Amino acid sequence: MKKLIASFILLSVMFLLSACNGGTEIETSIEKQAEKKSEKKVDEPGNTGVIPEALSASLVEVDEGTEGKDFIYEVKNNTDKEIEIPFDENGGHVYVLRDQSGKEVNRNDGLGTIQSNQIVSAGEAITIKIGMGGLKKGTYELEVWMESELDNTYNQTITFTIE
């Protein structure tokens, strides 16, 4: 009789344990960890939540009818929503001009020129005009980027020749 009662208790315990596999609790714990990680990523300094592909940069030469060369650097919002680009007190657009040997000929740090966050509407862009006059004959490389709190600086480089 004792064996029968012990077997019954053992089967009951096994049945209860198999019915409670704890899967929901584990999934909830994993979901909470994922939520905490995503919240942490947005809250970390330097992470603005802006997906790098949401913005694109371009640098093109334009004919403004002036002596020298003129360029337009543009950072465009590729989404259907507004994007806020966070700038701090050092924000701005930086460009460096190098000659064909790689020597720096001109630099404009532009730091501090944009001191507050910029809202870029869907399909719109931040546009900067850059004029290069008084250059000697030769081949040059112009590199432009944006100094903001975004992880991506949206570097663009163009090579041109003065004849």
> Is this model's pTM higher than 0.75 or not?
no
Q: Under a CB-based contact definition with an 8 Å cutoff, are residues 125 and 77 in contact?
A: yes
Instruction: Please tell me whether residues 84 and 131 are part of one structural domain.
Output: yes
Instruction: Note down the domain range covering 133.
Output: 52-162
Distance CA 32, CA 30 (A): 5
Write the pLDDT tens digit of every residue in 65-90: 777 899 999 999 999 999 998 877 77
Q: Is the pLDDT of residue 140 over 80?
A: yes
Residues 115 and 64 occupy one common structural domain: yes
Which has the higher per-residue pLDDT, 132 or 11? 132
* CATH number of the domain bearing residue 141: 2.60.40.2360
Mean pLDDT of 42-66: 71
- DSSP three-state, residue 97: strand
Angle at 80 between CA 114 and CA 149, to 5 degrees: 30
Burial class (CB in 10 A: 0-12, 13-18, 19+), 71: buried
Burial degree of 73 (CB within 10 A; 0-12, 13-18, 19+): buried
| Same-domain status, 35 and 65 | no
SS3 131: strand
Within this chain, do residues 76 and 121 fall inside the same structural domain, yes or no?
A: yes
Q: Is the pLDDT of residue 5 over 70?
A: no
Taking residues 133-159, what's their average pLDDT? 90
Nearest to 54 by CA among 15, 82, 87, 92: 82
Same domain, 88 and 156: yes
If we measure between CA atoms, which residue out of 74, 46, 83, 59 comes closest to residue 141? 59
* Shared-domain flag, residues 9 and 56: no
Are residue 39 and residue 58 in the same domain, yes or no?
Answer: no
Average pLDDT over all residues of the chain: 75
Pair 8, 71 in one domain:
no
User: Does residue 26 share a domain with residue 60?
Assistant: no
pLDDT of residue 115: 62
Task: Please give the average per-residue pLDDT across 91-100, as a whole number.
Answer: 90
Is 143 in contact with 104 (CB distance < 8 Å)?
no
Q: Are residues 75 and 146 in the same domain?
A: yes
Instruction: Report whether pLDDT(51) > 60.
Output: yes
Q: Are residues 77 and 150 in the same domain?
A: yes
Alpha helices in the chain (DSSP H): 2-19, 23-43
What's the structural domain count of the chain? Answer: 2
Identify which of 38-47, 110-119, 121-130, 144-153 has the greatest average pLDDT: 121-130
Q: How far is the CA of 142 from the CAs of 97, 100, 105, in angstroms? A: 5, 11, 10
Q: Give the per-residue pLDDT at 25.
A: 41
Ramachandran assignment for 31, one of left (phi > 0), alpha (psi -120 to 50 degrees), beta (any other): alpha
Token duo for residue 62: 């334009």
In a shared domain, residues 36 and 57? no
82, two tokens: 């507004």
The pLDDT score that the predictor gives to residue 17 is 42
Determine the pLDDT at residue 87. Answer: 79
